[in-house]
Chains A and B, each alone.
Chain A
Amino acid sequence: MKFMQWLHRWTGLIILLQIILWTISGLYFALVDHHGMKGHQYHQHPPTLSLNVEQVAALDPSWWSDFSDITKLRTRLIANIPQVEIHHGEGISFIDGRTGEPWRTHQNLAIQIANTTYSGPGEAVRVAAITRTRELNGWQGQGYRIDYNDDLNTRVYVDSHSGQVLDHRNTPWVVADWMFRLHFIDYTGGRNFNNLVIITAGIVTLWFALSGLILLVKLIGSGEMRVSLRNTTLRAKVGNQDVNLQDKAHKTILQTLQKHDIPVESGCGGGGTCGLCTVKLATTTKVTSAERDLLSEEQLEQGFRLACQHQISDAPVVEVKEMDVHKYTLELMSSEFLTPMLKELRFRVHDGDIPFSAGQYMQFLIPSAQTPTRPSDVPEAFSPEWINIKEAVFTHQEVRRSYSMATSSDTQELVFTVRYQPPGNGHDHPGVGSTYLCNMKVGQRIVAEGPYGEFQRLPGADRQLFFIGGGAGMAPLRALIQEELSEPEPRSMVFYYGARNRQELVYAQEFNELNQRGVVNYVPVLSEKQPSCEWTGEEGFVHEAVFAYLAQSDIQAFDFYVCGPPKMLTATLKMLEQLGVDQSRIRFDDFGI
């Protein structure tokens, strides 16, 4: 199922444009029909002229000995001139019956011949001798193009060698020809639909369509496609509160919860691929293949399922993860640069307070706006780093952006660290969320939803806590450390924090003090040390420094908490895996940029 979804998605992405082209050209064909496409709007069959005995009797047969293996002799009148068409061993030859000489069509005769096949309102206005044309694929030789002054710009092509009309062309024909190019993916004009490109496209499309069909059959089989006009009740336990939600019986639990504004995390929008919309159902609820992929055996046994996978008529009782998420209005109290690119924002909760655990995050509902690309309050000391970022204003849509709280649990005042994302990586504007937030003025308000997340401390009185962080990954780690310090008997803690240079070591003073007091073993690590840093501490990447430290320690004593930019996170998790640290002893918060 998962493979089919993957296949459907990627083949679809590859073939999308061609499917649109097929559809457009197909619609054109269905609207215009054959008659409109041939260029024969003003075409007629030439009148048949009967041969008379005198003409035939006067035929000059002197050419006979010039040809071998003659299989057919055809005699007829072309513009009242007898012509003999000879099919012989080397092809077809045309003879002027009066002289026995090879047939030649002069210009006036060509017009005359063209006129016999023309039924339109125009007249021949231009004649040009040609040897080839893009409008007759594969033809080449001596010939004429005769243009008519009608509304369709008709032109008639006449072959000089045979005295035959090759074909009619006009403006609608050109449009049709392009439609054939699009439909057959043959841009040579040859209308060959057996070419390699379309064969390849055909194979991809076949896989695309068949994977879609298989997915559809599975959907129908699983009962997800039922429709019902009947309303049914979903009994939902949200936190400690019981609510009854009315919706159509065929709706999924996810759809029903979202409709009633009960927040559920969801990344893929109900596709069964992100695994975020976990809820608790009756343990007897059937397990779908998506759930088997995304949830652990233990979770399944406890009744955890994905809300997008079950209809409310099949699973009428649901327990929604105790995620007391609400929307709050936050008012900015202060906004201050801590490092050249990172600001600390303090917000006051305008309506009540937000109970949250250290390590959790809020989603900011960034409105659509026009935002300056650089804040006005860059301190003098940090301005060298901003030298390349020009003053400008960019327009952006509304987005949601998540930021972790950087303090443990003051429910009235929330602190965030926001790292400015300069343009780059293919984006011509800076990060929307970070730029908007960095530009907010004191007193300005913004709506945020939360708290979300399960990046929380593990229990165990004898455990030691090992924090590994980098960049803006500081925020949740700092909150967790503060929370631990507020315990009656804080456990032993190690904190490795990576940055590029000394200026970027956020909250350095605070952690140096904790280090001196001996409560947190704080080890800053610089990866791009400058001479001006005057640095004597650890250098290199933070995961390398941690590796060196762990090589001479008892790994089993630690629980690990990791947060930082994607590369740092990946490298660190890989390092821990190599050391053989048990998965259950590692917690991490994924930036997922």
Chain B
Amino acid sequence: MQTQSSSYRTWHRWLSLIVGIQMVIWAISGAYMVFFKLPFIHGVHLTQEADQPLTNQTTMNRLPDVLKAYPDVHDVHVVRRFIGGEYQEVAQLHTPDRKFLVSLNNLATITLNDRDIEALAARYYKKGEAEITRVELLTDNAPTELNPAHLPIWRVDFDDFGRTSLYLHRETGEMTVRRHDFWRGFDIMWMLHIMDYKDRTDITTWWLRGFILATFGFTFTGTILVIQTLRSSRRKLV
């Protein structure tokens, strides 16, 4: 059979230079995201609950006094949290523009320092003995792994496999964001997958759309070629 060859093959080869490379990137980044379980990526295995059970019922009776002292609260959490070297019962108050802790003993606002944060982080940490290398309050510049909307926030770094970083809420000490190297790898893969190399969030760039459309052409030429090859029995006599 003499097939007028080559125009599909030529197209396929040239498209492969542009789209094909991106398809390899899609395949590799996709495989990474598929192979590692999402809860693992989210670091669910890294942390545990750090608050202790409440010890007495009378804590609820303090709430009217708390609300008298702090108006405009729409949400109250009563918890027993490790602050100042001991577990103490505190109220976490939510107002439209902030959340913070109040001591149920003296109704004073609690300010957490880096020792409190280090102690809390060690209690959240689930992977055994915590080796904390750094505790830092981030105020202005968020690292790429953190959404700037979380600022200001405490960052606690651990010396472990995966270089865990836990981000704790500045005023309440709540476990807010978990990061480790597999998440960081995932984030890079996500960036490559959606082709937003700047913010790693925009999935609607014209750049991405163009590549997807070109992929249709690339797939089409490839399909024609594979059909041609499968059919190219040398000749028919009969």
Interface residues of A (CB under 8 A from B): 9, 12-13, 16, 19-20, 23, 26-27, 29-34, 48-53, 56-57, 59, 61, 64, 68-77, 89, 192-194, 198-199, 202-203, 205-206, 208-210, 212-213, 216, 219, 224-225, 252, 254-255, 258, 263-271, 273-274, 276, 308, 361, 363, 400-404, 418-419, 421, 431, 433-434, 449, 471-473, 475, 563, 589-593
B27 within 8 Å of A (CB atoms): yes
CB-based nearest B residue for A264: B2
CB distance from A564 to the nearest CB of B (A): 9
Q: Can you list 23 A-B pairs, Cβ within 8 angstroms, ordered by A?
A: A27-B212, A27-B213, A31-B204, A50-B73, A52-B67, A61-B61, A70-B54, A71-B52, A73-B77, A74-B75, A194-B36, A203-B31, A209-B26, A210-B24, A213-B20, A216-B16, A268-B229, A269-B6, A269-B232, A401-B238, A402-B237, A403-B238, A473-B237
- A16 cross-chain contacts in B, Cβ below 8 A: 219, 222-223, 226
Contact at A74–B238, with CB atoms within 8 Å? no
Contact at B2–A71, with CB atoms within 8 Å? no
Residues 190-211 (chain B) with a chain A CB within 8 angstroms: 203-205, 208-209
- B64 cross-chain contacts in A, Cβ below 8 A: 53, 56-57
Residues 12-54 (chain B) with a chain A CB within 8 angstroms: 13-14, 16-17, 20-21, 23-24, 26-28, 30-31, 33-38, 49, 51-54
The answer for the CA separation of A71 and B79 in the assembled complex, in Å, is 6
- A263 cross-chain contacts in B, Cβ below 8 A: 2
B11 within 8 Å of A (CB atoms): no
CB distance from B72 to the nearest CB of A (A): 5
Q: Which of A49, A50, A258, A593 has the most CB of B within 10 A?
A: A50
| A206 partner, pick from B14, B31, B75, beta carbons under 8 A | B31
- A258 cross-chain contacts in B, Cβ below 8 A: 4-6
The answer for the CA separation of A274 and B37 in the assembled complex, in Å, is 44
Contact at B38–A193, with CB atoms within 8 Å? yes
Would A194 and B34 be within 8 Å (CB), given that A12-B222, A72-B77, A274-B234 are in contact?
yes
CB distance from A57 to the nearest CB of B (A): 4
- A27 cross-chain contacts in B, Cβ below 8 A: 209, 212-213
Contact at A202–B74, with CB atoms within 8 Å? no
Q: Which of A48, A205, A269 has the most CB of B within 10 A?
A: A269
The answer for the CA separation of A69 and B13 in the assembled complex, in Å, is 66
Contact at A205–B234, with CB atoms within 8 Å? no
B96 within 8 Å of A (CB atoms): yes
- A419 cross-chain contacts in B, Cβ below 8 A: 238
Contact at A75–B27, with CB atoms within 8 Å? no
The answer for the CA separation of A38 and B225 in the assembled complex, in Å, is 39
Contact at B74–A50, with CB atoms within 8 Å? yes
| B233 partner, pick from A57, A89, A592, beta carbons under 8 A | A592
Q: Which of A26, A51, A61, A206 has the most CB of B within 10 A?
A: A51
B59 within 8 Å of A (CB atoms): yes
- A50 cross-chain contacts in B, Cβ below 8 A: 71-74
The answer for the CA separation of A73 and B3 in the assembled complex, in Å, is 77
Q: Which of B51, B61, B203 has the most CB of A within 10 A?
A: B203
Counting from the closest, the 4 A-B pairs by CB-CB distance are A269-B5, A209-B27, A267-B232, A48-B74
B115 within 8 Å of A (CB atoms): no
Contact at B237–A591, with CB atoms within 8 Å? yes
Contact at A590–B80, with CB atoms within 8 Å? no
Interface residues on B, range: 35 or more
CB distance from A361 to the nearest CB of B (A): 7
Contact at B2–A75, with CB atoms within 8 Å? no
- Taking A213-B20, A224-B13 as known contacts, 7 extra A-B pairs with beta carbons closer than 8 A to each other, sorted by chain A number, are A23-B216, A61-B57, A225-B14, A258-B4, A266-B2, A267-B234, A590-B234
- B34 cross-chain contacts in A, Cβ below 8 A: 193-194, 198-199, 202
Contact at A205–B237, with CB atoms within 8 Å? no
- B33 cross-chain contacts in A, Cβ below 8 A: 193
- B68 cross-chain contacts in A, Cβ below 8 A: 53
B63 within 8 Å of A (CB atoms): yes
CB distance from A545 to the nearest CB of B (A): 22
Contact at A361–B235, with CB atoms within 8 Å? yes
Would A267 and B3 be within 8 Å (CB), given that A23-B216, A209-B23 are in contact?
yes
The answer for the CA separation of A9 and B9 in the assembled complex, in Å, is 13
- A400 cross-chain contacts in B, Cβ below 8 A: 1-2
- A593 cross-chain contacts in B, Cβ below 8 A: 233, 236-238
Contact at B238–A266, with CB atoms within 8 Å? no
CB distance from B4 to the nearest CB of A (A): 6
Q: Which of A33, A76, A264 has the most CB of B within 10 A?
A: A76
| A56 partner, pick from B13, B67, B72, beta carbons under 8 A | B67
Contact at B24–A213, with CB atoms within 8 Å? yes
The answer for the CA separation of A203 and B24 in the assembled complex, in Å, is 12
CB-based nearest B residue for A402: B235
B60 within 8 Å of A (CB atoms): yes
- B79 cross-chain contacts in A, Cβ below 8 A: 71-73
Contact at A72–B78, with CB atoms within 8 Å? yes
CB distance from A18 to the nearest CB of B (A): 11
Contact at B49–A202, with CB atoms within 8 Å? no
B88 within 8 Å of A (CB atoms): no
Contact at A268–B219, with CB atoms within 8 Å? no
- B67 cross-chain contacts in A, Cβ below 8 A: 51-53, 56
The answer for the CA separation of A473 and B79 in the assembled complex, in Å, is 92
The answer for the CA separation of A247 and B233 in the assembled complex, in Å, is 30
Contact at B60–A59, with CB atoms within 8 Å? yes
Contact at A205–B4, with CB atoms within 8 Å? no
- B208 cross-chain contacts in A, Cβ below 8 A: 30
CB-based nearest B residue for A19: B219
- B76 cross-chain contacts in A, Cβ below 8 A: 51, 56, 74-76
CB-based nearest B residue for A15: B27
Contact at B2–A265, with CB atoms within 8 Å? yes
CB distance from A499 to the nearest CB of B (A): 15
Would A271 and B9 be within 8 Å (CB), given that A71-B53, A209-B23 are in contact?
yes
The answer for the CA separation of A400 and B24 in the assembled complex, in Å, is 38
The answer for the CA separation of A53 and B77 in the assembled complex, in Å, is 15
Interface string of B98-119 (1 = CB under 8 A from A): 0000000000000000000000
CB-based nearest A residue for B55: A70
The answer for the CA separation of A72 and B60 in the assembled complex, in Å, is 11
B176 within 8 Å of A (CB atoms): no
- B139 cross-chain contacts in A, Cβ below 8 A: none
Contact at B219–A20, with CB atoms within 8 Å? yes
Contact at A254–B5, with CB atoms within 8 Å? yes
Contact at A402–B236, with CB atoms within 8 Å? yes
The answer for the CA separation of A194 and B225 in the assembled complex, in Å, is 32
Q: Which of B37, B57, B230, B234 has the most CB of A within 10 A?
A: B234
Contact at B75–A75, with CB atoms within 8 Å? yes
CB-based nearest A residue for B195: A30
| B226 partner, pick from A9, A52, A53, beta carbons under 8 A | A9
CB distance from A394 to the nearest CB of B (A): 17
- B226 cross-chain contacts in A, Cβ below 8 A: 9, 12-13, 16
| B53 partner, pick from A20, A70, A273, beta carbons under 8 A | A70
B8 within 8 Å of A (CB atoms): yes
B228 within 8 Å of A (CB atoms): yes
CB-based nearest A residue for B54: A70
- B235 cross-chain contacts in A, Cβ below 8 A: 361, 363, 402, 590, 592
